Amino acid sequence: MHLGSSSAAGVRFLTSVREGRGLNRSAREVGIGKETGYRWLREAYVAHRRSGKSIAETEAVMGLASAKSTAWEAEAAAGPGRHHHRVAVDTEARFWAVYDAGTGADAAASAAGVGRSTGYRWLGRRFCELRAAGFTVKGAQRLLRLSDQVTARAEGQRAAAMLRERGAAMAAYEEALRSSRQFADRTAGVWSKKQQLRAELVDTYWQLMRSGETNASACRVLGMSRRSGTTIRAAHQYQTRVRVPRVVWSGRYLDVRERLQIADLLRLGFSVRRIAAELGRHRSTIKRELDRHRSPEGRYLPRTADHDARRQRGRPRAGKVDRQHHAAAAGAAQAEPVLVTR
């Protein structure tokens, strides 16, 4: 079953397009094809138009003006339609006209030319609509003139449907969190277990090479072929890689991956409290992060926020030891005698 525009990936894609990244780039970031992106744009466009928005408002909300909007406009004007197995609207209206006049469900179904099960299905749907509108079970039963048996069956079906909806909502919630973690890992460049093992192997290879080993001996120690070592060296233009210490961030500060996940969960409609629970941070930490690093338009830009946070954490002046060292050097320079030549 294909994903729709309301899925986590669909929301992520539509938000990226609205932010001006374009269809192709947004599709690559989400990991979908261009045709899927066009399908999601069509679904969103038609939904906005059917909700009462004008063409200009829809294009402004979606952040694009596509040449395909003409075909989408025809689909929006056609209306949602009815399933091919459903009875015509006039037939259902005839059933309700007869039933509301005081006739029983069987006689109303016969007058409308439909089966008995269809009539009771319409009654069950109307019962659920009344319950959703705030009617009690007895109130809906009295208004529709239902028997106790039909009422119990309709209420049981409604409870089962609500349970399925809650289960689907919980599954969608968990899927959104899972996909958000994967999206943040992929965007931030977080390595998988296999990639980490590969990186450790490459680091060990270069340690052996820096200690004076040859390619053949280093490969022999690591248990790999000489061609594998040649491939590693070729990736660095056959130059021994300089040892660069990896940056380890303190858990006190948010890192770029957490900021990317904050932005993604905001796109998916998660609250500050939910985001804080997912990241294991206090909700005030997330709120301060959003208050400090929103753009004038109200958008949260994770890369810009991470850059600004690092720059703000930098010391505004030299450390105390450095200042003392420079002061001592300046004093020694002043005390040094000046040689005058004649």
Q: Is 189 left (phi over 0), alpha (psi -120 to 50) or beta?
A: left
Q: What is the token pair recorded at 250?
A: 């303190």
**Mean pLDDT estimate for the chain:** 82
Nearest of 104, 131, 102, 129 to residue 119 by alpha carbon: 104
pLDDT at 168 over 90: no
pLDDT of residue 8: 83
Residue 290 tokens, joined: 């959003």
**Mean pLDDT score, 229-252:** 73
Kindly tell me if the per-residue pLDDT of 333 is higher than 60: no
Which DSSP symbol is given to 113? T
Domain ranges of the chain: 8-78, 89-146, 193-234, 256-310
| Torsion angle (degrees, nearest 10) of CA 77, 78, 82, 83 | -120
Kindly indicate the confidence band of residue 25, based on its pLDDT and cuts at 50, 70 and 90: confident
pLDDT of residue 338: 47
**Per-residue model confidence (pLDDT) at position 140:** 94
Confidence of residue 110 (pLDDT cuts 50, 70, 90): very high
- What mean pLDDT do residues 192-216 have? 85
For residue 267, give the 3-state DSSP assignment. Answer: helix
pTM to 2 decimals?
A: 0.58
Given the structure tokens 């006739």, which residue do they identify? 103
Reported confidence tier of residue 313, pLDDT bands at 50, 70, 90: confident
Q: Which residues of 314-338 are buried (b: 16+ CB within 10 A; e: fewer)?
A: eeeeeeeeeeeeeeeeeeeeeeeee
Residue 259, H or E segment: helix 256-267
